[in-house]
Amino acid sequence: MHAKALRGKQRLVQLMFDLREKVVGKRGAAAACPYCGGPVLAWDFDAHLLFCFISISHKSKRKFYCTICDRRLVPAS
């Protein structure tokens, strides 16, 4: 398959699917950044996956960010 045709199909899929995230809350996490030692904020998101403007999936997500170095942190399992 040609690269140009592949890019066209990928663009079509991007137009059909859309991920929308909305911040619903922020709060301090009881942790320190392993890189700089700064305080960490926990952000709560509502994520909706849309197919042709119709919601097909809904998830609540929590992401952690350092307030000093602005890195996204992934909690250890």
Each residue of 16-46: pLDDT tens digit?
Answer: 888 889 999 999 988 899 999 999 999 999 9
Residue 7 placed within a domain:
no
Phi, psi at 59, each rounded to 5°:
-135, 145
Domain span at 55: 18-72
Is the pTM for the entire model greater than 0.75?
Answer: no
Residue 11 placed within a domain:
no
The position carrying tokens 């699917």 is 17
Residue 36 placed within a domain:
yes
Count of structural domains within the chain? 1
Check residue 77 and give its pLDDT: 66
Check residue 67 and give its pLDDT: 93
Among 7-11, 50-54, 61-65, which range has the highest average pLDDT?
Answer: 61-65
Please state, in angstroms and rounded to a whole number, the distance separating the CA atoms of residues 45 and 60.
6
Q: Mean pLDDT in the chain?
A: 87
